[in-house]
Amino acid sequence: MKQNKSTPVTLLQVAKHAGVSRSTASYVLSGGPHVSDSTRKKVLESIRQLGYVYNRSAANLRSKSSSTVGLVFPDVNNPFYTALLAGINQELNKYNKTVILGTTFESLSAQDRLISTMLEYRVGGIILFAVPDTPEELISRIKHLGIPVVLINRNFTDLSYDYIGIDNVVAGTLATNHLIKKGHHRIAFIGGFNQLSSWQERKQGYKDAHHKAGLEIDSSLIVEGHATRESGYELMDQILNLPNPPSAAFCYNDIIAIGAMMKLKERGFTPGHDMAIVGVDDIPEASIFTPKLTTVSSFPQIRGARAAKLLNERMEGLTMNPQSIIVQPELIIRDSCSYKKEILPHSTK
């Protein structure tokens, strides 16, 4: 296992040590069929003894192919992403693909840098959770390089790319309808940004539900913000300071909903009682928080797996025309929407 730092062991040295040719050694590495059992054993033993480490870059260079896939996420500090990641990882392992993950922190320039690096390393495919305002040109450039891309969650108007998401309009409708059915007429929509396709779609569902019920929307009840706990916390404060606060809030996602509920408690209100809350995603924390969060499940883990599967097919050149996979969300009723008692009293603090 020990060996000189300055000169890494090469396959050729392994081959010599095992008394075979380089190509034979290469065959045993790639699991090729034309190798006798005894040769394979010899080579494997030499590898072990010399502490040989496969040089994947060299292999990729020669074979002009790569089994590594690049993951580009906007952030990672949200159980939603972790679930997505888990689904992707799990599926990709099946195909013996390895993953490198990069975080853009919602910055377009960081995303550019990240993707450039991945391209320079010649990843075999990319799963992209795009930053808002990502130019479509970026994606077409990658595709022109012959590298398959699967888009997650954030879509482009031009649907000529592989995409996997949920039906966000339905998610918005499901959530808002539930709130309306509980007797709420003034419903806020908080968190997320207008640039996000998912935001626009959820808002569409929110609108649809209002229209269908013959309800007006007060546009001051729609407040945008980052998809973080902290932001949910701030946004709820804004909402509560409104001259005429709503009795319910549809939150862009669970993490915002939880931040919002924290603020409610801080200001002496009881979420679910003084204000009804519903989120989107169904992260693990949703069922743990007090009150347990009513939410619309977006099945992140399942979607991650589907995305990985789709990408793998592209990398293997299986299917050809772009696919949009849309998962149907599901309402999960818990405790954060008990029946509306009365109009929320004016802010106390």
Partner DNA sequence: ATGAAAGCGCTAACAC
Partner DNA sequence: GTGTTAGCGCTTTCAT
Question: Does position 322 bind a second copy by CB under 8 A?
Answer: no
* Beta-strand relationship, 187-190 and 248-251: parallel
- Choosing among DNA, a second copy, none, which partner's interface includes residue 1 (Cβ < 5 to 8 Å by kind)? a second copy
Which distant-in-sequence residues (6+ apart) come within 8 Å of 112 by Cβ?
138
Tokens of 179: 């709130």
In three-state secondary structure terms, 327 is strand
- C-beta closer to a second copy: residue 34 or 144: 144
- Phi/psi of residue 101, nearest 5 degrees: -115, 135
Question: Does position 55 bind a second copy by CB under 8 A?
Answer: yes
Of 206, 269, 289, 299, the residue at the interface with a second copy (CB under 8 A) is 289
**What is the binding site for DNA (CB under 7 A)?**
7-8, 10-12, 15, 19-24, 26-27, 29-30, 33-36, 38-39, 52, 54-55, 58-59, 61-65
Distance of alpha carbon 38 from alpha carbon 304, whole angstroms = 42
- C-beta closer to DNA: residue 25 or 151: 25
The H or E element spanning position 98 is strand 98-103
- C-beta closer to a second copy: residue 37 or 120: 120
The residues in 35-54 that bind a second copy, with binding defined as CB under 8 A, are 51, 53-54
- C-beta closer to a second copy: residue 136 or 230: 230
Burial of residue 218, with CB atoms counted within 10 A of its CB: 0-12 exposed, 13-18 middle, 19 or more buried: middle
Distance of alpha carbon 244 from alpha carbon 247, whole angstroms = 9
| Contact yes or no for 265/238 (Cβ under 8 A) | no
The beta-strand segments (E) located in 132-221 are 149-152, 162-166, 187-190
Question: Does position 314 bind a second copy by CB under 8 A?
Answer: no
Tokens of 346: 């004016």
Question: Does position 79 bind a second copy by CB under 8 A?
Answer: yes
Question: Does position 301 bind a second copy by CB under 8 A?
Answer: no
Distance of alpha carbon 220 from alpha carbon 242, whole angstroms = 9
First to last CA, the chain: 67
Q: How far is the CB of 109 from a second copy (least distance, A)?
A: 11
- C-beta closer to DNA: residue 11 or 236: 11
- C-beta closer to a second copy: residue 19 or 268: 268
The footprint of a second copy (CB under 8 A) covers 1-3, 5-6, 8, 51, 53-58, 60-61, 68, 75-79, 81-82, 85-86, 89, 98-103, 105, 113, 117, 119-122, 141, 144-146, 229-230, 233, 259, 262, 265-266, 284-285, 288-290
